[in-house]
Amino acid sequence: DAKTTQPPSMDCAEGRAANLPCNHSTISGNEYVYWYRQIHSQGPQYIIHGLKNNETNEMASLIITEDRKSSTLILPHATLRDTAVYYCIVRGPNDYKLSFGAGTTVTVRA
């Protein structure tokens, strides 16, 4: 997705927090930041989304900067099962054609 920029890969130690950055400097005021992940050979899994405020659910936390030009997905205690490609996307309220960029390949190591 040309609207977002993510690092191609990152490693994380099991049990530690994983902080995944995403830049979306051209985001519009009504566009949401969504995160999905895709574990090998599985369908994409919704993680979390937000507009302006920070969000937290049972899977992760999403921190959005005040200017909304970047965000960070935080997996608080990474496990080996969190190894996956993580996609950050920006979508407007009426956008339904999702597209993923290259994402960040996260490898959690024991």
If phi > 0 it is left, if psi is from -120 to 50 it is alpha, else beta; for residue 39 that is beta
Q: Distance between CA atoms of 107 and 82, rounded to whole angstroms? A: 8
Specify the residue, 67 or 97, whose C-beta has the smaller distance to another protein: 97
Task: Single out the residue of 21, 23, 63, 100 in contact with another protein (rule: CB under 8 A).
Answer: 100
Specify the residue, 66 or 94, whose C-beta has the smaller distance to another protein: 94
Instruction: Using the rule CB under 8 A, give the single segment among 18-26, 54-62, 68-76, 98-106 that binds another protein.
Output: 98-106
* Contact criterion met (CB below 8 Å) for 75 and 17: yes
- CB contact burial 3-22 (16+ within 10 A = b; e otherwise): bbebeeebebeeeeebebeb
Q: Could you say whether residue 11 binds another protein (CB under 8 A)?
A: no
Instruction: Using the rule CB under 8 A, give the single segment among 18-26, 38-46, 51-59, 74-82 that binds another protein.
Output: 38-46
Smallest gap from Cβ 95 to another protein, in A, equals: 6
